[in-house]
Amino acid sequence: MLKAESIVGCLLGTAVGDAMGLPYEGLSSGRIYRMTARRIERYRLLPGKGMVSDDTEQTCMVAQALIVSGGEEKKFTRACCRRQIPSGSRGDCVGGF
């Protein structure tokens, strides 16, 4: 498998896992079991529709910043800040860019 295909697969897997788990975010495993009484086998938030959280959105923004930066740390930091990806304990952009 090509490197690009692996990266796309990783991003797609992140989005699918996020969508499947989104309706249960923040719930205890006991509460989820009582709600479903089985494995999570289908999407349950919006019937027939897919929906992801900010986790997937931020993952895609980081991927875009990595592409734009070409591996250069300062370019990556600036690209993250342009996309308003918070970093640090206060949600500030790293490096103050």
pLDDT of residue 96: 43
H or E segment to which residue 59 belongs: helix 54-69
pTM of the model: 0.66
**Nearest partner of 60 among 3, 31, 18, judged by Cα:** 18
pLDDT digit string, tens, across residues 20-78: 888 888 999 888 888 877 666 666 656 666 678 888 888 988 898 888 899 898 898 88
Q: Which residue is it, tokens 């697969």?
A: 9
Q: With beta carbons less than 8 A apart as the criterion, state whether 56 and 14 touch.
A: yes
The residue with greater pLDDT, 95 or 65, is 65
pLDDT at 1 over 90: no
